[in-house]
Amino acid sequence: MYLIFLSTYTLIFLFGSLSLIKFLDDFQTIDKVELLTYSTQGIGLSATPTSLNSLPVIWYRNDPEDYAKYVDAVADVLNKRKKREIKNITDLGACGSSPYGYGHSPCIILRINKQLKWSVKPMNADIAKKLNAPKKVQEWMKMEQKLWLHCDGIHSYDKEHLGKLTYYPDPPGFDPNMFPLTKSTDSPLIAVQISDFTLGISLALECKLWHHEGVSTIEFMLYVTPKKIDHL
């Protein structure tokens, strides 16, 4: 009975895998990191370069050699899009060219994970009040109907030492008309630049995507120390 169960499970798994490959005819062109689903909140977010080594941490000394890996990670994301001639690349301002703000004012590139059949409506005022959306988000809602992204420190300590956050574009919203995405389209990008924060302190940040279905969240840590000075 055990062997029959194991054989049946293996066949079902292989059938499902082959069916998925057949459905994604050109699956090799899709970023595996983007092609994710989140049943709890409907959708998830990805941040670059916080996915390095599978850890949501940006940790470096304020030295070009130390933060080069983060610069390369951001460049890799942007260069892939340029090669595919994607037309919906947003103007990322200071975060659109190397070294992307590293090391004094690092940039984080965020996008909505690619889910081919996912779409959602912008959040309305009633839901925003019910979920206690930040004041800035409620102000942005009066301007346009978008899926709004808002970042901040997780705790009061983090907020105190976080400094300034600059969004590209500003205000930071995703056009809901771009969803659902197709196999040949990519999720638009939003950049968050962090500046004037306290060096030598570990800061916990979270970015939230506010939409009609609720809130999707991604969290990461930022820890930057001053450049090491070699004594003579």
pLDDT at 11: 52
205 phi/psi in degrees, rounded to 5: -120, 155
Least confident of 27-36, 83-92, 172-181: 27-36
Least confident of 87-96, 192-201, 218-227: 87-96
pLDDT at 34: 43
pLDDT at residue 229 above 70? no
What percent of the chain clears pLDDT 90, i.e. is strictly above it? 59
Q: 164-168 and 214-225: which strand pairing?
A: unpaired
pLDDT at 220: 93
pLDDT at 22: 39
**C-alpha span between 215 and 210 (Å, rounded):** 5
- 176 CA to centre of own chain: 16
How far is residue 182 from each of residues 5, 6, 170, measured CA to CA in Å?
Answer: 37, 36, 26
Q: List, in order, residues 6 or more apart from 222 with CB less than 8 Å away.
A: 58, 59, 106, 194, 197, 202, 203, 205
Cβ count near 202 (within 10 Å) = 13
pLDDT at residue 174 above 90? yes
pLDDT at 6: 59
pTM, full prediction: 0.77
pLDDT at residue 86 above 80? no
Model confidence at 215, pLDDT cuts 50, 70, 90, reads very high
Short-list 191, 192, 228, 194, CA closest to 66: 228
